[in-house]
Structure 1
Amino acid sequence: MAAEPGLRQEMLNAIPSLRAFAISLTGSIEYADDLVQTALVRALKNLDKFAPGTNMRAWLFTIMRNQFYTELRKRRREVEDPDGAMALRLAVLPEQSARLDFSDMQAALSQLSIDQREALLLVAAEGVSYEEAAQICGTTIGTIKSWVNRARTRLAEILAITPEEDLGPDRLIQSALLVRSTS
């Protein structure tokens, strides 16, 4: 909507006062000029909401003041991070690595003998005791312990995991590879 000549002149006459008020709010001439410009653009977009015969200057001041406080609230939630240090600290591990680790673990498990895989999954993943695993598999406790130990060693070779520091936070992998004392 194009501004009527009288309204347009009222807006132009208010600019010096708006600018002075904006400088007092912001403390920055550049930011104040941006604030005045934004207020005038908003006023022009919403000119149909201006009630003729009311105080144009007060209406513009209200628009500018509201804009200033909106931007201030927004800036309070934002963190200045020019060198990216804050963003680096907020980074999270990508989810796909867990899926890839799981796929690697499945592939490695498939390379184990059926007996070793079954014993390892019962003891390490399901939390079954060696005694219960021996009963389930129909063998002795010593055989289950041997199968589990060989399976852990073979998994570590397949996955190229040597020191404990290479183990990630995933408890399934840790329990499968670390010797658990279950008595």
Structure 2
Amino acid sequence: MRSLRASKEDPRERIITFLPDMRAFAQSLTRNETAADDLLQDAVIKAWKNFHQFRTDTNLRAWLFTIVRNTFYTDLRRKRRELHFAEDSWLHTAGEAPSSNKIIAVMDFEKAFFQLPDEQREALILVGASGLSYEEAAETCGVAMGTIKSRINRGRKRLAEIMAGDEDGPPPD
């Protein structure tokens, strides 16, 4: 049996390099720093416990992002069953007076971004903000690469419509 100590070839040693991107992805899903930290911690623990299922000939980054995503949706389904809805931290800042035009623009973007359907928002985050390739994003979401491209295209188009003030535009897919 192989030693539990990580060798130089052991991909577990590479997890730390992906933590910042995983945390950013967790924050985009939860919209709350504390919840994102909790999600990240749960995902890393799951990854570590299930590392025996990781195939070294596959993409470690996509595997880790899939665990973050699946953990988020599992927790979300559980919370819905329990009928407990956590308040998003960004709602508490919406009433504060902005100190510059940049803050207003960021808040407007955030408001528009969270109007997108989950699938479109998730695809935009994975490819646009997290830097995953279309292929990695498709693998993470468990869909075809064409589906990811379509979600990104529709998400960008809808985001532009909302930002332009056309909030009553075509319904999201």
What TM-score comes out, normalization by structure 2 length?
Answer: 0.43
Larger Rg: 1
